[in-house]
């Protein structure tokens, strides 16, 4: 029986976790409509949450694991471990799909990854699009001009990463890093000779905020681009 584990790390994401989980639930339902015997579990790793993130997640009936590491790598790793225990499977027929709590995934997010899994892919590098409502018009136009559909750059994003469970184990799992844990993991997967594939067929939308939950994450990248195009954010200019 095939299985899918969806893992979402979260630290104080009360404003965005609801829409994230709604999109994940829609993707899970679509996958189960296509494969009626598909076994699925969604786990949110609640890392040092001090706001309403935890109660929001529990009200949705989603599985959780709580920790106080304040480390995204540790949170992802704990979420994967919990999910695989619940599924009782970590073999070649089990797929791990990772995203972030400030991200919305498309309806075919899981099915597209399963299709690639069937084609022999061991790890999928999915693309990420910022929420253009959070960006200036110039920044949004720049992003569109530098990210063409059908030409995925193969960048590593924890917000859109999928891997075969057996390969995850062979590569040593997500490392305990406060940033770039996804990059280190993909490097380990490549080192064991696994099949890695970049695709924008299941692109996700991540918040366009400039202050993220990790020091050098996607938010920091967006901030650097914004400053090149527009100068420092308004609040910083006033200061």
Residue owning tokens 């940033």: 179
Cα dihedral: 182, 77, 201, 91 (round 10): 120
Contact status, residue 232 vs residue 205, Cβ threshold 8 Å: no
pTM of the model: 0.91
| Six token digits for residue 70 | 């304040």
Higher-confidence position of 70 and 214: 70
Which is higher by pLDDT, 85 or 139? 85
pLDDT in tens, 189-199: 999 999 999 99
pLDDT at 177: 97
Q: What is the DSSP letter of 181?
A: H
pLDDT over 50 (residue 236): no
> 175-209: string of b/e by CB count within 10 Å (b at 16+)?
bbbbbbbbebbbebbeeeebebbebbbbbbbbbbb
- Predicted confidence (pLDDT) per residue in 25-69, tens digit: 999 999 999 999 999 999 999 999 999 999 999 999 999 999 999
Cα-based distances in Å from 54 to 7, 71, 98, 146 = 15, 17, 19, 37
pLDDT at residue 239, rounded to an integer: 32
Q: Return the percentage of the chain with pLDDT > 70, whole number.
A: 95
Give me the helices (H) in 15-136, please.
Answer: 17-34, 53-59, 72-87, 109-118
Q: What is the pLDDT of residue 233?
A: 60
Q: How far apart are CA 120 and CA 147, in angstroms?
A: 26
pLDDT tens for each residue of 154-181: 999 999 999 999 999 999 999 999 999 9
pLDDT reported for residue 117: 98
Range from 6-15, 189-198, 223-232 carrying the lowest mean pLDDT? 223-232
pLDDT, mean over the chain: 92
**Residue 211 banded pLDDT, cuts 50, 70, 90:** confident
d(CA 33, CA 139) in angstroms, rounded, equals 38
Alpha-carbon gap, residue 3 to 150, rounded angstroms = 28
Say if CB 186 and CB 156 are below 8 A apart: yes
**Which CATH number is correct for 3-238, 3.40.50.720, 3.90.550.10, 3.40.50.300, 3.60.15.10?**
3.90.550.10
- Label residue 91 by pLDDT band (50, 70, 90): confident
Domain ranges of the chain: 3-238
Q: What are phi and psi of 122, to 5 degrees?
A: -100, -30
**CA–CA gap between residue 170 and residue 8 (Å, rounded):** 21
At a CB cut-off of 8 Å and minimum separation 6, what does 146 contact?
none
């Amino acid at each position: 029986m095939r299985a899918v584990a969806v893992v979402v790390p979260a630290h104080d994401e009360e404003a965005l976790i609801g829409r994230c989980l709604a999109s994940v639930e829609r993707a899970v339902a679509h996958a189960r409509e296509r494969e009626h015997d598909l076994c699925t579990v969604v786990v949110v790793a609640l890392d040092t949450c001090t706001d309403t993130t935890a109660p929001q997640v529990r009200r949705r009936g989603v599985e959780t694991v709580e920790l106080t590491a304040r480390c995204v790598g540790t949170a992802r790793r704990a979420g994967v471990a919990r999910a695989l225990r619940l599924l009782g499977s970590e073999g070649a027929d089990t797929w791990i799909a990772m995203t972030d709590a400030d991200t919305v995934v498309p309806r075919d997010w899981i099915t597209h990854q399963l299709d690639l899994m069937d084609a022999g892919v061991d790890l999928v590098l999915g693309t990420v699009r910022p929420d253009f409502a959070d960006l200036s018009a110039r920044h949004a136009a720049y992003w569109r001009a530098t990210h063409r559909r059908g030409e995925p750059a193969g960048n590593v994003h924890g917000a859109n990463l999928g891997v075969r469970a057996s390969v995850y184990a062979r590569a040593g799992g997500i490392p305990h890093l406060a940033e770039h844990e996804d990059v280190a993991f993909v490097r380990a997967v490549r080192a064991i000779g696994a099949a890695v594939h970049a695709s924008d067929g299941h692109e996700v939308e991540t918040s366009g905020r400039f202050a993220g939950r990790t020091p050098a994450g996607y938010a920091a990248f967006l901030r650097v681009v914004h400053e090149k195009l527009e100068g420092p954010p308004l609040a910083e200019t006033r200061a």
